[in-house]
Amino acid sequence: MKAILPGATVGIIGGGQLGRMFCMAARRMGYRTVVWTGGLEAPAAALADEVVDGPFDSSDARDAFVGVAEVATVEFENIPRSTLVGVAERIPLHPSADAVATCQHREREKRFLEKEGIPCAEFRVVDSAAALAAAIGDLGTPAVLKTAAFGYDGKGQRKLEGGEDPEAVWREFDADRAVLEAFVPFERELSVMVVRGADGSTVSYDPAENRHRHHILDVSIVPARVGPEVASKARGLAASVAEALDYRGILGVEFFQLEGGRLLVNEIAPRPHNSGHHTLDACATSQFEQQLRAVCGLGLGSSRLLSPVVMLNLLGDMWRGETAAPDWAAAFADRSSYLHLYGKERAPGRRKMGHLNVLGGDAEECLERAERLKQAWLEAAG
């Protein structure tokens, strides 16, 4: 297969910040980009050469997109499968519609992991109050109920502590299908970015250790504070997931790490991932450049970690009154911190507005600096 070389136009389905950072990587390497926004607000549009601003179920929008793009990729997974299949009938799409469809639906994702023998939390599929009652009977509590489709950042999730009435829980949960997962008493959460190229070779990154705030990623600490065995097991599992999906592109695999080092896969993201943003400043090749290389059939880049780093997510609650940004002077006074903003005008709730990569001599020291900046900004925002 011939590589798609600089000068060509690469299409991105989805116009969020992941698409925006992909466009920057593509531009830097001399590619053109077209972003299909799905009709949603699109931080990527400002960086794209062309924009198709129509919904994902519009055949006119699809025709406009495939008329410009020579190859396509995705920047989020909640795109209807039929849209992906429609694109793939006209131009190459990486990752495939099948791979994205597996990752966009928790039931399919879990069944895939089970079939491939990749360890994950015990689960039951639930489609009624009676099924929920039976699942609670099987798995016990605590347990976590998760919608099968369209869940992210803890949305569409409810933890069951025991003693709840399954009828009431199911009624309030308001989903057709869900997955009940045994609660995992994890020691830490890890993730691995892995890229798989046109020739089936894979390159994985050092695992990130992820901490959440209100169910949203807060900081990623790299290297994760785990031993070499756990790190290499996580990288190996991530590569196995990519191979089992016959994947081409960049993939994020999230893990629960239990006491003793055992790893369970939590989620798979068929795209760049928030916990891979440190690669922009702290790795030889960013996750976005790797996505471009894989999608265009180029050789993959080195994933070498150049420096310990902590990625701090900049969420909307650091903004005052939704529009007043934090005082960045403190970040700029720190000579080894690198600010990335996504160009979003308003910061409602805990919207992802940007991130800060804090580089340093070791991860602990980076974490201290990142936490200090975060606390000051949160306090100033009230």
Give 233-238 contacts, CB < 8 A, sequence gap 24+: 233/261, 233/263, 234/190, 234/192, 234/207, 234/263, 235/192, 235/194, 235/204, 235/205, 235/206, 235/207, 237/118, 237/119, 237/192, 237/263, 237/265, 238/192, 238/193, 238/194, 238/204
Q: Which is nearer to ligand AMP, 116 or 267 (CB)?
A: 267
Q: Which is nearer to ligand AMP, 266 or 285 (CB)?
A: 266
Q: Does 215 bind ligand AMP (CB under 6 A)?
A: yes
CB of 61 to ligand AMP, least distance (A): 29
Q: Which residues contact residue 200 at a Cβ distance below 8 angstroms, ignoring those fewer than 6 apart?
A: 243
Residue whose C-alpha is closest to residue 123's, from 143, 99, 150, 94: 143
241-270 binders of ligand AMP (CB under 6 A)? 254, 266-267
CB of 137 to ligand AMP, least distance (A): 17
Instruction: Mark the segment that binds ligand AMP (CB under 6 A) among 35-43, 61-69, 179-187, 329-337.
Output: 179-187
Of all helices (H) and strands (E), which one includes residue 157?
strand 157-160
Q: Using the rule CB under 6 A, which residue among 26, 144, 198, 310 binds ligand AMP?
A: 144
145-174 binders of ligand AMP (CB under 6 A)? 146, 151, 154
Q: Does 77 bind ligand AMP (CB under 6 A)?
A: no
193-212 binders of ligand AMP (CB under 6 A)? 212
CB of 184 to ligand AMP, least distance (A): 4
Sign of the C-alpha dihedral computed for residues 213, 181, 248 and 56 taken in this order: negative
Q: How many Å apart are CA 96 and CA 84, to the nearest integer? A: 8
CB of 361 to ligand AMP, least distance (A): 28
Give the pairing type, strands 337-341 and 208-213.
unpaired
Q: Does 189 bind ligand AMP (CB under 6 A)?
A: yes
Q: Using the rule CB under 6 A, which residue among 26, 64, 101, 121 binds ligand AMP?
A: 121
Q: Does 139 bind ligand AMP (CB under 6 A)?
A: no
CB of 108 to ligand AMP, least distance (A): 14
Q: How many Å apart are CA 46 and CA 132, to the nearest integer? A: 46
Q: Using the rule CB under 6 A, which residue among 77, 181, 206, 209 binds ligand AMP?
A: 181
- C-alpha dihedral over 201, 230, 367, 344, to 10 degrees? 40
Q: Does 184 bind ligand AMP (CB under 6 A)?
A: yes
Contacts with ligand AMP by CB under 6 A lie at 121, 144, 146, 151, 154, 181, 183-184, 189, 212, 215, 254, 266-267
